[in-house]
Structure 1
Amino acid sequence: MPRQPDQREPILQVRDLVKHFPLTQGILLKRQIGAVKAVDGVSFDLHPGETLGIVGESGCGKSTVARLLMSLETPTSGQIRYKGQDISRLSGRALKAVRRNIQMVFQDPYTSLNPRMTVGDIIGEPYEIHPEAAPRGERRRKVQELLDVVGLNPEHINRYPHQFSGGQRQRIGIARGLALNPEIIICDEPVSALDVSVQAQVINLMERLQDEFGLSYVFIAHDLSVVRHISDRVAVMYLGRIVETGSHQEIYDHPTHPYTQALLSAVPVPDPAAREHRERIILRGDVPSPADPPSGCRFRTRCWKAQRTCAEVDPPLAVPVAFQGARGPVAHDSACHFAEEKEHVAHG
């Protein structure tokens, strides 16, 4: 269940984060002819012990945000501040020290684990990079403790990844992420490759570990029902930008951006009676190319509310004018000129 918001300073602050990948032409004399605007002005905060869910369609820039947070990519511009320190341009020892506190769980448990290494070597590898975290004589014991923490048999330390199921492999990935006792874990679609029943087990494990170790999660997914289950706050991304953000209740029960409403209307509803009374929103057209995004509001080419001002003025991510005097969950940030509550949106 969502926790009460932490009133302390954010542990991670992202401001105007931009990542453009250059498009070049030519073989010998390459010249840039454009850029893929994968992330184009993303800002958010992450508080201690909180889970921020980032949702959106494939290709909206979610995984690029994850790679930027881990310094696997260098941002074109913007800031990523960890405990007040801008880490977006760090390198060498300074970056190594920060990475100890920010770890990642990858999407595919089949390819994120080296098949030639035993489970013990995989989980213990962070200790080779950060030897100060565990003396050499204690590493085997620490690895076995981590296996036990994530619900695996400590006696299986000498087995190889192919000897485990998909859900067990993802538990191994989580154990590796916990090895250095980090404060933040970036979860890049950690359950999308798993069966539904196994997804629930892994999500419950992650919630338990969060309470036990005081972890903060950035949880990236395209499955809104999974994000709803684990997240305290949610940011909805579309074509490189956040279009709506708010608490768990604000986004799922009181969405005001048309794109969020369309996503929620597509969530399957198991109750036949509820299914009959909800409106399914069908978006027209395809997602525009991030190399040539529309002017103004990026969602306008698929939006049923679009008017001339949507093409001319880029709406800010803020409480819409219509709700600025309102109180309650409807008054949250939404990048839409014509934001409004819509009834009969599926709540999952």
Structure 2
Amino acid sequence: MTADGEAILEVRDLVKHYPLTRGVLFRKQVGAVRAVDGVSFDLRRGETLGVVGESGCGKSTVARLLVHLERPTAGRIRYKGEDVTRLSGRALKAVRRNIQMVFQDPYTSLNPRMTVGDIVGEPFEIHPEAAPKGSRRQRVRELLDVVGLNPEHVNRYPHQFSGGQRQRIGIARGLALRPEVIVADEPVSALDVSVQAQVINLMEKLQDAFELSYVFIAHDLSVVRHISDRVAVMYLGRFAEAGTDAEIYEHPTHPYTQALLSAVPVPDPAARERRERILLAGDIPSPADPPSGCRFRTRCWKAQEKCALEVPPLEVPERFRAAGGPAAHVSACHFAEERPVVPVAGPGGTGGG
């Protein structure tokens, strides 16, 4: 589906800090884990925004904030112009109907004591206005058929299905209320490679059929490129670079993005021999004590004194503004420059990080 330019979801300066406390009787906050620390983006109608990064960078926290499973410490999330962060009660319930989530683990996200019919039909119990009581069973069967499962298996339990089938059940549950936005938190990371491709193709088909917008979160760069219209690369609670899939994968300007792309397996032996592997020094710093200035500087081969003193803004680098072209996309680096990276493989490879 092609995005039409209208922003259905607007996120501005989103922050989520988890307090670190000390003491038993008298608890005192001594710090905070900065899981998300100033994330901004727009999601247009019919678009897929892919969010990639290493484990622990804050991707899943962003997902939970978008569906309001957690309240942000600061920032705004606007759905169709309405500030979701200020809503509660019935108003919040109405918005939640339109923003649903597909979880990472198809094994733990389904209640083993409930039948598939009850799992997929549960949203109708919470939002009874979405379907008349007499038609819910038929709606559940239709949803199972849409995601490629046998409607006759409506009375089976989750343990009677494979991992890929369970994730299809989770997708059917997410579709039950006919949402406009689906936040998919690493929906294929726990699946076999062949099953990953099937689920990704299913999600693309459903996007057209149900007019969906996706926030697709993953660490697998190959999968994200296959499904995404735009890609945002996240590092330690912030976006490091963002642009279209071609801009990010073929013309990366941030050192972190270049390092991630160099780590993706390449199926062509000749290309594998030619490519230059970028090895990062050290581990990801603690989100409880991130580096000053640029958060990537402690692992970056281009870091200079300026990187420790100034936070690089997420904007089009000055050197690319006049010339334009695919390199002229936002990148949070003081010394952003293009670097040739071997193109990633098709869907089914393993991501960097």
Question: TM-score range, shorter-chain basis?
Answer: over 0.9
2:300 to 284, 299, 303: 303
Q: Which residue identity does 1:85 align to in structure 2?
A: E
- 1:167-219 deviation line (CA, Å, top 9, x unaligned): 00000000000000000000000000000000000000000000111100000
How far off its partner does 1:290 sit?
0.3
- 1:31-76 deviation line (CA, Å, top 9, x unaligned): 0000000000000000001000000000000000000001111101
In the alignment, the residues of structure 2 paired with residue 4 and residue 115 of structure 1 have an alpha-carbon distance, to the nearest angstrom, of 38
Q: CA RMSD in A?
A: 0.8
In the alignment, the residues of structure 1 paired with residue 2 and residue 325 of structure 2 have an alpha-carbon distance, to the nearest angstrom, of 16
Please tell me whether the aligned partners of residues 185 and 216 of structure 1 are also in contact (alpha carbons under 8 angstroms). yes
The alignment-based identity, stated in percent, is 80
SS in 2 for 1:98: helix
Deviates more, 1:302-311 or 1:338-347: 338-347
Q: Which residue identity does 2:62 align to in structure 1?
A: V
Q: Which residue of 1 is the match for residue 339 of structure 2?
A: 342
- 1:275-306 deviation line (CA, Å, top 9, x unaligned): 11111000001100000000000000000000
In the alignment, the residues of structure 2 paired with residue 86 and residue 345 of structure 1 have an alpha-carbon distance, to the nearest angstrom, of 42
Q: Answer yes or no: is 1:142 the counterpart of 2:139.
A: yes
Q: Which residue of 2 is the match for residue 84 of structure 1?
A: 81
Matches within 5 A, 1:6-85: 6-7=4-5, 9-85=6-82
Q: Which residue of 1 is the match for residue 320 of structure 2?
A: 323
In the alignment, the residues of structure 1 paired with residue 187 and residue 9 of structure 2 have an alpha-carbon distance, to the nearest angstrom, of 20
Q: Which residue of 1 is the match for residue 198 of structure 2?
A: 201
In the alignment, the residues of structure 2 paired with residue 217 and residue 4 of structure 1 have an alpha-carbon distance, to the nearest angstrom, of 12
SS in 2 for 1:53: strand
Please tell me whether the aligned partners of residues 13 and 81 of structure 1 are also in contact (alpha carbons under 8 angstroms). yes
2:128 to 117, 126, 131: 131
Q: Which residue of 2 is the match for residue 284 of structure 1?
A: 281
Matches within 5 A, 1:93-242: 93-242=90-239
User: Once superposed, which parts of structure 1, at least 4 consecutive aligned residues long, lie more than 6 Å away?
Assistant: none
Please tell me whether the aligned partners of residues 231 and 243 of structure 2 are also in contact (alpha carbons under 8 angstroms). yes
How far off its partner does 1:6 sit?
2.3
2:310 to 310, 313, 324: 313
Q: Answer yes or no: is 1:253 the counterpart of 2:270.
A: no
| Corresponding residue pairs, total | 345
How far off its partner does 1:346 sit?
4.0
SS in 2 for 1:104: strand
SS in 2 for 1:100: helix
How far off its partner does 1:327 sit?
1.8
**Which segments of 5 or more consecutive residues in structure 1 lack a partner in the other structure?**
none
In the alignment, the residues of structure 2 paired with residue 67 and residue 249 of structure 1 have an alpha-carbon distance, to the nearest angstrom, of 28
**Which segments of 5 or more consecutive residues in structure 2 lack a partner in the other structure?**
346-353
How far off its partner does 1:4 sit?
4.3
